[in-house]
Amino acid sequence: MKQFFSQSLQKQALVAMLVGVLPIVLLTLWYATSISKHQQETLIIYDENQELILEYNYIKADVNGIEKALKNNQLLKSEQLQISIEQKWQTTQNRIELLKLKLANSDFVAKLQHATLLDPKSADEFAQLVAQLKQLDANFDDTLDTRLANKNEQFKALQTEFVVGLIVLLPILVIISSFLIFRICRQLNQVETVLSDVGKGQLDQPIKLSGSHELQQLGRRLDWLRLALKRVQQQKETFLRHVTHELKTPLASINEGSSLLNSGLLGEVSDKQGRILTIMQQSVEKLARMIDDLLNYSAASHPDGLQQVTSFNTLEEEINRHLSDTIANKDVAICWHISATNKVPHLPCKLILTQLVSNALNHATSTVDIYIRQNHNTIELNVADDGPGINQEEAHLLFQPFYQSEHNKNKQGSGLGLAIVSECVNQLKGDITWQETDSGANILITFPSQ
């Protein structure tokens, strides 16, 4: 059985069709052939009945004619007429025997046999035979009707057998078709699940699809693609870590030099020079933030960040301390609502909350609410602000690296904030959804409690 289901879907469908459809086709062909044969037999019986009616009428007419001829011969006393009468009676007897043969085993034949048991000689005896034949008319008609009725009963029995056959075979066909559709859908669901996991960046689990030959071959190709993507991802992470760390050293030197020049310790700085140094200092700070974001993005996709755990209360203190300068410069109230007591992975949760709260502070008008709840075996992080909100048409693009929404083009940032959130959520095996709200943005993140 396992060997059969490992064959191609085309072969499975062909076998299922042969098993399910072929019996119905054969049953239909048998029924059509039987109907044709039955019609032919019915037509033959009808023709035979017409011939029997004519034959029976001939017999009655002959017997009646013999009776009249005998009455006439009583006066004529013709020897030649007597011979003719005897020959006529002999022919009539042959017809009677033929009629008995064609309607053998019928009630009519038994009565006819009784009527012709005595060999009539005189006109009176033939008159008596004529009367008996007239009495058999109704019985003769019933016999012929019975022959057609029996054929109609056979036709009804044939119809019943066909219907019963369909009643038995159709459920079998439905079961086989449903089973095949179920297997195909299950195999397609495997592909959908695998593609979804690869799309989410879950590249550690080997891909192995079970089922038909084509599906197994597709699984091998997808696993090759997974390994290729994993290599590319590792190369990307290595490159990011290397480049960002290499950039930090000269950037620190530039920052220190511009600060030293700006301080006036190396000589007086003119207004034009001061403006240039200010631009340099702002650019260095922006570049430093971008490098930090790149480092965080690289760290967000690294599985080592799941090892250390902490509480949400500790994360609240760290994030408030990290964003203290931004909070001080903003007329925005941050409200933490923590009801979850679980320990959670420190680095991914810190990066998630840092990025979401930082974004909310940049766009909020007056308040930012952070709700942290535990729901059965799930942790929910909900960050909401009362800012301008987001365009739902571009919501699915915001988690891509370096993408910035239209209303955020003029704000400083690397465009990696929500991409970092997305990577951390993938590490936690969670989900991100935009919540519908009248104003502002509302992001809900759920992941299994550790």
Q: What is the pLDDT of residue 6?
A: 55
Label the pairing between strands 309-310 and 344-345: antiparallel
Q: What is the pLDDT of residue 40?
A: 93
User: How far is C-alpha 310 from the geometric centre of its chain's CA atoms?
Assistant: 44
Helix, strand, coil fractions of the chain, as percent rounded to 5: 70, 10, 20
28 to 36, 168, 169: CA distances (angstroms): 12, 13, 11
Provide the residue ranges of all domains of the chain, joining segments of one domain with +. 1-199, 214-297, 303-448
Q: What is the pLDDT of residue 401?
A: 62
Give the strands of the sheet with 378-385, arranged side by side: 333-338, 367-375, 378-385, 442-448, 431-434
Q: What is the pLDDT of residue 23?
A: 84
Distance CA 87, CA 96 (A): 14
- With tokens 């009428």, the residue in question is 57
Distance CA 139, CA 108 (A): 6
Q: What is the pLDDT of residue 32?
A: 92
Helix (H, G, I), strand (E, B) or coil at 78: coil
CATH topology of domain 303-448: Heat Shock Protein 90 (3.30.565)
Per-run averaged pLDDT (10 residues), the chain, 450 residues: 56 72 87 92 91 91 89 85 88 88 86 79 85 89 90 90 89 80 78 80 79 78 86 75 70 74 71 78 71 63 65 84 79 84 82 84 85 86 83 65 56 64 82 78 84
Distance CA 435, CA 444 (A): 7
Distance CA 336, CA 421 (A): 19
Q: What is the pLDDT of residue 410?
A: 44
Contact 175, 183 (CB under 8 A): no
Residue-wise over 340-356: b if at least 16 C-beta within 10 A, else e? beeebbbbbbbbbbbbb
Distance CA 195, CA 358 (A): 32
Contact 411, 393 (CB under 8 A): no
Distance CA 253, CA 250 (A): 5
Helix (H, G, I), strand (E, B) or coil at 389: coil
Distance CA 109, CA 140 (A): 9
Give me the CATH code for the 214-297 domain, please: 1.10.287
User: How far is C-alpha 272 from the geometric centre of its chain's CA atoms?
Assistant: 71
pTM of the model as a whole: 0.47
Q: Among residues 290, 289, 297, which one has the least CA distance to residue 233?
A: 297
Distance CA 444, CA 312 (A): 16
